[in-house]
Structure 1
Amino acid sequence: MSVEEIRRLTPGEEIFAGAHAYIGHAVLVAGRVDEDALAAAFDAVVRSYPVVGAALKPHPDGGHVLVTSETPPAISVVAGDPDDLLAGSVLDQGVRLGAVGLVRDGARASVTLSLHHSVADGAHGVALLAALWSRYADAVEGRPVVVEPHGYPLPAEQVLTARGVVKIPLDRLPRVVDCVPPAPPVEVAAGEDESEVDERGFLALRATRVLLTVEQTAGLVALARAEGVTVNSLVSAAILLAEAECRGCSLAHLLHVYAVNLRPMVSPPVGAAEATNLVGSAVYPPTTTSPTELVGLARAIRSELESQVAAGLPLQTPLHLGDAPEEGEPTTRLVVAATNFGRIPELPSTAGSVFEEYRVAMAGKPIPGGSRHAVSGTCVIHSFGGRLGVEVHHSAAMAGWERRRTGRVRAALVSAVR
């Protein structure tokens, strides 16, 4: 099979190629997982969405090129702890940008669809997760496994330009790039704040998770509707309050930076799998007069987001990636980051198996010359089966800190619906 060049990566995609970054969308399953059906489903996904089976190769002038892969799609199957979501998964951007790993232990298993971040953001990945399990159900139940050919997804820069989004001067955008990342918390001992790497060269990341009950999640939804806010703004408020409490600082020392899915913000709208990383950033800079209770802070966050969306600011993020930051005095606010994968669709069930939980896995390698200091990780928000989840991926040295921080997040959310 000969390798064909598809196109060069854009600056917004190249960021993730340097880090060999993958996002894994995992489902914990109680009961039997049919290996043959899973392999057939993954093969159909690759033939439907060819970017999953593509690869990256370095370009002589720098950067990377998206190319077809010489390696046919295959799933990995290992016996082990299903909580080790990426065990056995082949994550090599020079071989394939998508992978499926099955980890089983008796009657319990995890299945993880990993996608390279250069070609798929969270919304894109969730759509392909649904496609995988739909085809798996077809295979298990003896129906034809559907192949629906799609083209390669377009980069955000091309999608936005084609829809008339004009790049505006950098000095009109909220300043994010000059903000300093949080320093390691004081309880992380000196010399222990460096992230480890595993035998494959990937950062050895752990995950700390908060998972609300169905009743608690329904209570948050009801609270958001009653107060005229969103569940996402309530979670953002809880994350900010937890960070300030754990660090012993005021909200005004923080800057909340979070991802915004741009697909519904453009016309015509863009399908989840039609673009690689169609994500912008919004920011909320608390002040000394910002509310310090959950609902009030959530209302302020939502109001600021509405103002930024109305001004088209999140749409500018992909157009400025790779630009040099503006000159001026950098801010010393600490960045508190979050992203929201939204509601994970109901996955088709099959006889003899039950979906227990959705989880996210992160994989990436240290960037040469980049910092490997352990800092507060990005909070990933999602809901599955009527349960809200918040998870953070971090180094071993940060485990105690993240348990404290996510514990405060959970306490703030649960106390609001009691």
Structure 2
Amino acid sequence: MTAQRPLSSFELVYFGSETHLGSVPTGGMPLFIGSTVHGLLDVEILRRVLDELAAQHPLLRSKPVADADGTLYFRRDDAYRPHLEIADGGEAEYLDLVNAPQGWRDGLFRAHLLRDGDRDRIVLVIHHGIADGRSAFALLAQLWQRYTAHATGTALPQPDFDQELPEAIDIQLAGVVSDAEIAGWLDQIRAGAAIMGPESAPQTLPLDGIDNDPLGRFAVQRIELDTNETQNLVDTARAEGLSVNSLLSGAALVAVRSQLEPATGRLPMFCGHAVDLRSELKLPAHTMLNCASGVGTFALVPESAKLIDIAHEVAAGMLAAKEQREAPIFLLASQRVQDEVTASILAAAPTVAISNIGRLPAHSTPDGIRHIRDDIYAMGPGMPPKLTVFTIGDRLTIQVEYDTARHSRTRMGKVSLALIDALRGIA
């Protein structure tokens, strides 16, 4: 059984220092995933469930170790038990947590329980090098399934400790993406950059952030839709022949355009999209592994842009990216760039990024526990502004996330309000 394996080139980007994947700062990045509920959770059941999750997913109980020549390995530690820290706290303490430095010497998976009156918030902390948003939400769903089973006396199968460590996504992709595809895509990127002038560079928000923001460097603003608002948004997308992702991406570009220089005509804007690669390899959604790549869509956005028009431009770009297999190719191509010009092209910041997890079933909870909301958060210094979108049951949440050292809370607050206005205008 594979109880140890080397970190791949892709994984090393997440376990490095000041490393990036494209424009995303990845080195040492934590991923936070959790739920807030009405009602008090049983701490002993919670500890048992955390142990079972670690037992179910070998990467959660692994540690990076270096051999004599410095090569990093994942080593499975079947004795590992995730630490659970319990403290009083609500939203302010949650924001303190996501802004705090995270150490990984003692393990890559742990949890916090924040208690605020009759509300509990469970937060799982996972190293982003072993998980992405899709697997994190799957893990959270498993937590609630197992917690509810224990609370109601229903038996669930116990995890198999002998599972092998899953192979890294770039190692798996190498079997389905050819060298010719990678070389051709890089040639296409270089050729496109050669014919584009400075006026074609994607517009980005002005840098007006501050150092040492008293509320924390990494910020999040939530836009939570109720069931009717969520359904209206879905119905609008369907009526226009669009995905919800393209509709929200168009809204994001229109919202950012409202904060750029007026009366300057159609501005080039670029939306980055996180893409889950599990479908390329037919991996189950619950596979605990970082399988996230990215693609980009380009749009020319006027000051008085119609959201639907921009959403259709995004949809066309997403279709082209899918047909060209851009997401799997980009992940491998980014490892093969050797010249500074191509590296700078791939590292260019998008106007805005969006990570859309999609629609997920409502959590199962026992009597006395009522689900309020989920949160997911992953930010690093210098990361471009991004939207994280997910639908739990029949309620959609949009998180506007940013680095306050780059963008002020005032400006990003205006972006959030413009996003709300744009969505209200179509739904």
Instruction: Please state which band the TM-score falls in when normalised by the shorter chain.
Output: 0.7 to 0.9
- Name the residue aligned to 2:147: 136
- Name the residue aligned to 2:118: 107
| Alpha-carbon shift at residue 155 of structure 1 (Å) | 1.3
Kept after mapping to 2: 8 A contact 1:377/1:393 = yes
| Alpha-carbon shift at residue 246 of structure 1 (Å) | 0.9
Whether 1:386 aligns to 2:394 is: yes
Q: Partners of 1:253 and 1:117 in 2: how far apart?
A: 31
**Which residue of 24, 47, 64 corresponds with 1:39?**
47
Aligned partner of residue 110 in structure 2, secondary structure: strand
Kept after mapping to 1: 8 A contact 2:257/2:301 = no
- Name the residue aligned to 1:408: 418
Kept after mapping to 1: 8 A contact 2:271/2:353 = yes
Q: Partners of 1:32 and 1:21 in 2: how far apart?
A: 30
After superposition, the C-alpha distances for 1:194-219 in whole angstroms (9 at most, x for unaligned) are: 46699xxxx84221121122211100
Residues 233 and 351 of structure 1: CA distance in aligned 2, closer, same or farther (over 3 Å): same
**Which residue of 50, 56, 59 corresponds with 2:64?**
56
**Which residue of 168, 171, 175 corresponds with 2:187?**
171
Letter in 1 for 2:39: G
Identity over aligned residues, as a percent? 22
The equivalences for 1:362-401 within 5 A come to 362=378, 372=381, 376-396=384-404, 398-401=408-411
**Which residue of 83, 107, 123 corresponds with 2:134?**
123
Structure with the larger helix share: 2
Kept after mapping to 2: 8 A contact 1:104/1:110 = yes
Aligned partner of residue 335 in structure 2, secondary structure: coil
Aligned partner of residue 409 in structure 1, secondary structure: helix
**Which residue of 204, 222, 225 corresponds with 2:238?**
225
After superposition, the C-alpha distances for 1:32-61 in whole angstroms (9 at most, x for unaligned) are: 211111111111111111211222245665
Residues 132 and 400 of structure 1: CA distance in aligned 2, closer, same or farther (over 3 Å): same
Aligned partner of residue 12 in structure 1, secondary structure: helix
The equivalences for 1:344-359 within 5 A come to 344-359=360-375
Residues 408 and 290 of structure 1: CA distance in aligned 2, closer, same or farther (over 3 Å): closer
| Alpha-carbon shift at residue 334 of structure 1 (Å) | 5.0
Kept after mapping to 2: 8 A contact 1:256/1:335 = yes
Whether 1:340 aligns to 2:356 is: yes
After superposition, the C-alpha distances for 1:204-235 in whole angstroms (9 at most, x for unaligned) are: 42211211222111001001111110101000
User: Which is further off, 93-102 or 143-152?
Assistant: 143-152
User: Which is further off, 215-224 or 68-77?
Assistant: 68-77
Q: Partners of 2:253 and 2:285 in 1: how far apart?
A: 29
Letter in 1 for 2:418: R
**Which residue of 60, 70, 73 corresponds with 1:65?**
73
Q: Partners of 1:386 and 1:127 in 2: how far apart?
A: 17
- Name the residue aligned to 2:5: 7
User: Which is further off, 35-44 or 49-58?
Assistant: 49-58
Letter in 1 for 2:273: Y
Aligned partner of residue 256 in structure 2, secondary structure: helix
After superposition, the C-alpha distances for 1:8-46 in whole angstroms (9 at most, x for unaligned) are: 222222222232211111111011211111111111111
Q: Partners of 2:304 and 2:171 in 1: how far apart?
A: 39
Letter in 1 for 2:31: I
Query: Please, which runs of 5 or more residues in structure 2 have no aligned partner?
Result: 17-26
Residues 148 and 112 of structure 1: CA distance in aligned 2, closer, same or farther (over 3 Å): same
Whether 1:209 aligns to 2:217 is: no
- Name the residue aligned to 1:253: 268
Q: Partners of 2:413 and 2:251 in 1: how far apart?
A: 14
The equivalences for 1:295-306 within 5 A come to 295-306=308-319
Kept after mapping to 2: 8 A contact 1:256/1:336 = yes
Residues 289 and 416 of structure 1: CA distance in aligned 2, closer, same or farther (over 3 Å): closer
- Name the residue aligned to 1:76: 85
| Alpha-carbon shift at residue 283 of structure 1 (Å) | 1.2
Query: Please, which runs of 5 or more residues in structure 1 have no aligned partner?
Result: 365-371
User: Which is further off, 146-155 or 403-412?
Assistant: 146-155
Q: Partners of 1:335 and 1:303 in 2: how far apart?
A: 18
Residues 322 and 48 of structure 1: CA distance in aligned 2, closer, same or farther (over 3 Å): same
Letter in 1 for 2:210: D
Q: Partners of 1:347 and 1:83 in 2: how far apart?
A: 25
Residues 216 and 61 of structure 1: CA distance in aligned 2, closer, same or farther (over 3 Å): farther
| Alpha-carbon shift at residue 362 of structure 1 (Å) | 2.9
Q: Partners of 2:394 and 2:294 in 1: how far apart?
A: 27
Equivalent pairs, count: 395
**Which residue of 81, 90, 94 corresponds with 1:85?**
94
Aligned partner of residue 355 in structure 2, secondary structure: strand
Kept after mapping to 1: 8 A contact 2:111/2:123 = yes
Aligned partner of residue 182 in structure 2, secondary structure: coil
Residues 14 and 180 of structure 1: CA distance in aligned 2, closer, same or farther (over 3 Å): farther
Whether 1:292 aligns to 2:292 is: no
Letter in 1 for 2:129: S
Letter in 2 for 1:74: H
After superposition, the C-alpha distances for 1:273-316 in whole angstroms (9 at most, x for unaligned) are: 43622223221122378993111211121122112211212220
TM-score (structure 1 length as normaliser): 0.84
| Alpha-carbon shift at residue 351 of structure 1 (Å) | 0.7
TM-score (structure 2 length as normaliser): 0.82
Kept after mapping to 2: 8 A contact 1:27/1:357 = yes
Aligned partner of residue 357 in structure 1, secondary structure: strand
- Name the residue aligned to 2:210: 193
Letter in 1 for 2:30: Y
Residues 33 and 87 of structure 1: CA distance in aligned 2, closer, same or farther (over 3 Å): farther
Residues 151 and 411 of structure 1: CA distance in aligned 2, closer, same or farther (over 3 Å): farther
Residues 71 and 269 of structure 1: CA distance in aligned 2, closer, same or farther (over 3 Å): closer
- Name the residue aligned to 2:277: 262
